[in-house]
Structure 1
Amino acid sequence: MTDFLISLYPWTKAFHIMSVIAWMAGLFYLPRLFVYHVEKAETEALGLVFEVMEVKLLRAIMNPAMIATWVFGLCLVFTPGVVDWGYTWPWTKAGAVLVMTWYHHWLGRRRKDFVAGRNRVTGRQYRMMNELPTILMAIIVISVVVRF
């Protein structure tokens, strides 16, 4: 099995990077849709348009991208010679990925709140939360590239 993972390493890494890009795009865009939903959806019809956009982004792009990121990432973890857990970088990356996954699910719960008519988060709060994936991305990229 390990020989198989080693032989697929460049492909696994490429698909991991592509899925991360798609996931991050969604993590940046969905909270922005929430801001517009809170601040601009003055009619029920416009609110329904935002709900459709939000659910399609989450279900068609973000969820599959998150799953692919995890699958390819775990394949990389189990590929011999790729990760040395004696360093700090794999732990900081793993922690940031766990927080990013929590954030993804937090956004999913906020979408359900919109559908149920019980959103209590303001546009300003969504703007502030929209900074979290940027911070996590910086931690992950620096961890992987610098490998401290």
Structure 2
Amino acid sequence: MAILWLKAFHVFFMIAWMAGIFYLPRLFVYHAETSDQAVRDQFKIMERRLWFFVTPFALLTLVLGAIIMYLYGSAWLKASAWLHAKLAIVALFYVYHFYLYYLMKVFAADKNKHGTRFYRFLNEAPVLALLAIVLLAILKPF
């Protein structure tokens, strides 16, 4: 029963994390569109607060996922090829998370060089990666 609680909180923290890192690039779109410095300064505050709000969710998702894998054991881990694929995509999400941090710092220094199209793609493409994670976790295709 305890593992079900761990899974429930793992999924909850993952959803909270994803909500935040899907919204942050949307803020970047709006930030890149504006030329008003007061509005840019407001976006800087919003972006910073959002990134630091969702980062603990990313950490909790990671910790709970590691605990769940530990509880299932190394034999299960070795036999679960679907999990290896899922973990590879999850690793890319952590890279993405810290890339958003880098972009946030670029915006904070008023040195953005990308247009809104770049940020729109950055906002929408990870949805496919999340779909892959969900399909792997639920269907366990291999």
TM range (shorter): over 0.9
Match of 1:130 among 94, 109, 123: 123
Report the number of matched residues: 140
1:11 aligns with 2:9: no
Aligned to 1:56: 49
Note the 1:111-130 alignment, pairs <5 A: 111-130=104-123
1:87 aligns with 2:70: no
Q: What is the identity, as a one-letter code, of the residue corresponding to 2:95? A: W
CA distance in 1, matches of 2:133, 2:78: 15
Aligned to 1:68: 60
Confirm or deny: 8 A CA contact 2:69 2:77 kept in the other structure. no
Spell out, residue by residue over 1:31-54, the C-alpha distance to the aligned partner (whole angstroms, 9 max, x if none). Answer: 000000001x22111001101110
Q: Which has the higher helix share?
A: 2
Spell out, residue by residue over 1:24-75, the C-alpha distance to the aligned partner (whole angstroms, 9 max, x if none). Answer: 1011100000000001x22111001101110010002x10110011011111
- Structure 1: give runs of 5+ residues left out of the alignment: 1-6
CA distance in 1, matches of 2:125, 2:18: 11
Please identify, of 122-131 and 29-38, the stretch whose mean Cα deviation from structure 2 is larger. 122-131
Spell out, residue by residue over 1:65-88, the C-alpha distance to the aligned partner (whole angstroms, 9 max, x if none). Answer: 100110111111111269443232
CA distance in 2, matches of 1:85, 1:129: 33
CA distance in 2, matches of 1:80, 1:65: 22
- Structure 2: give runs of 5+ residues left out of the alignment: none
1:38 aligns with 2:32: yes
Confirm or deny: 8 A CA contact 2:21 2:51 kept in the other structure. no
Q: CA deviation at 1:100?
A: 0.4
Note the 1:90-105 alignment, pairs <5 A: 90-105=83-98
Q: What is the identity, as a one-letter code, of the residue corresponding to 1:37? A: H
CA distance in 2, matches of 1:13, 1:86: 19
What's the RMSD between the two structures over aligned residues? 1.5
CA distance in 1, matches of 2:78, 2:123: 30
Q: CA deviation at 1:145?
A: 0.7
Confirm or deny: 8 A CA contact 2:25 2:119 kept in the other structure. yes
Secondary structure of the residue aligned to 1:120 is: coil
TM-score in terms of structure 2 length: 0.93
